[in-house]
Amino acid sequence: MRPAFVSLLAALCALPALAADLPRAKAPAAPALASVACKESDAVPPDAFGFAAGSDVAEAGSWGAGLEYGLAFGARVGRAHSHGFKASVSGGIAPCFEIGPSLTFGHERWSDPTVPARGRTTAFGAGLEMKAKLLTREAHGVGLTLVAEPNAAWSRTRLRDYATPLFASGSGGAYAVATKLLLDAALVPGRVYGALNLEYGAEAADDDGLTCATLSGSGHCRGSAVAVRGALAYKLNDQLFLGADVAHQRVYEGLFLNRNPGYAWFAGPNLFWAPNEKISINAAWSTQIVGKAHGQASCQKLNLDDFSRHVVKVKLGVAF
C-alpha cells in the first residue's frame, strides 16, 4: 500500500488545481486594448474538458467562486477511499493574468487484511493558483496558458494493527508546487474543441516516522509527478458540453523524477452544464485502464500502489 501522505496528497491534487476555472460575471468596461488582449470570440469554459483544462482566463476585473468535491477509490487488497473538498475564489487582476486562492480538506481511510491493519488520514491545506495566458486561439489558432500553484497542507494519521490493542499516530506538513501548460484549439469551430495539458508537480512531506519515513536523515519524504492529459469537448449548445479525456500519469521518488517510477493510464467521460451566466456544474469520472508500479509483478495489470482505480470530480461554480 502506498504511504498515506502520498495517497492523501494525490486525492487533494486530483481536485485539479483549477481554482480559477469558474463562471464569472462580466467585468466593467475597460480600455479597448486591455479588454481584448486575451478575449476569445469563441469562448470555451475551461471546465468543459473534465480533468483536463482549457486555456481561457478571466477578464480583468471579473470574479467567481467554486466548490469542488473529489472522490478516489479502488485498492488491490482491502479497501481504500479518499474524499477531497476545495473552496476557491478567483478572478482577473490584469489583462491575461488570473489568480485563485483556495482552501482544501481531505480525508482518507484504508484497510489491509493481509497485515492486518487499518488507518485514516485527515489533511487541511491552502494554495494559490496563478494563470498567465500567452497565446489566444483568436490570433494564433491555438490557446496557450501557463499555470503555477504552490500549496501547503497539514495532515494527521492514525494507524491500528489488529494484532494489538494499540494505536499509532503521526502528523506533519507537506509542501508542493504544481506547474502546467494548457493548450486548446477549435477542431470544428463552434462545435468540437480539443485540449492538451502538460503537468509537473513536486512535493516534500515532513518525516513523522509513520506515514512518511526516510532513512536519509533529510527530515522529508520527497516525490514528483508528471502527467499528459488530452480531451475532446462537443458543444451541444451554449449551455451544455459533453466530452471525454485520457491521461498518462507517472510518479517518482525525488523532487526531479529521480527514481522508482510508477505509471497509469486513465480515461473517462465528462459533462459541463451552465444553466445561466451565474452558475455552472461540471462532473467527470475517470478509471484506470492499465498501469504498473515500481517492482510490480508482470501479471498485475493495474497500478494500485500509486493510484486509485477510479477518480470522480464534481464542481459547482458561481459568478459574482
Q: What is the mean pLDDT of the segment spanning 66-79?
A: 92
Which pTM was predicted?
0.85
pLDDT at 116: 75
pLDDT digits (tens, 9 = 90+) for 175-233: 999 999 999 999 999 999 999 999 999 999 886 656 565 545 556 688 999 999 999 99
Torsion, Cα 265 269 274 280, to 10 degrees, reads: -40
Secondary structure class of 96 (helix, strand, coil): coil
Q: How far is the C-alpha of 311 from the C-alpha of 15, rounded, in Å?
A: 9
Domain assignments of the chain as residue spans, ordered by start: 4-319
- Closest by CA to 11, choosing from 306, 320, 317, is 306
pLDDT digits (tens, 9 = 90+) for 8-32: 344 444 444 333 444 444 444 444 3
What is the pLDDT of the chain when averaged over all its residues? 86
Of 298 and 135, the one with more pLDDT: 135
pLDDT at 184: 97
Q: What band does 130 get if pLDDT is binned at 50, 70 and 90? A: very high
pLDDT digits (tens, 9 = 90+) for 248-304: 999 999 999 999 899 999 999 999 999 998 999 999 999 999 999 988 888 889 999
Dihedral sign from CA coordinates of 202, 208, 209, 215 = positive
Write down the residue that cell numbers 485527515 correspond to.
Answer: 122
Q: How far is the C-alpha of 11 from the C-alpha of 174, rounded, in Å?
A: 13
Q: What band does 146 get if pLDDT is binned at 50, 70 and 90? A: very high
Q: What is the mean pLDDT of the segment spanning 122-133?
A: 97
Instruction: For domain 4-319, give the fold.
Output: Lipocalin (2.40.128)
Q: What is the mean pLDDT of the segment spanning 146-167?
A: 86
- Closest by CA to 67, choosing from 113, 21, 122, is 21
DSSP-assigned letter for residue 119: E
Q: Please determine, for residue 154, whether its predicted confidence score (pLDDT) is greater than 50.
A: yes
Secondary structure class of 280 (helix, strand, coil): strand
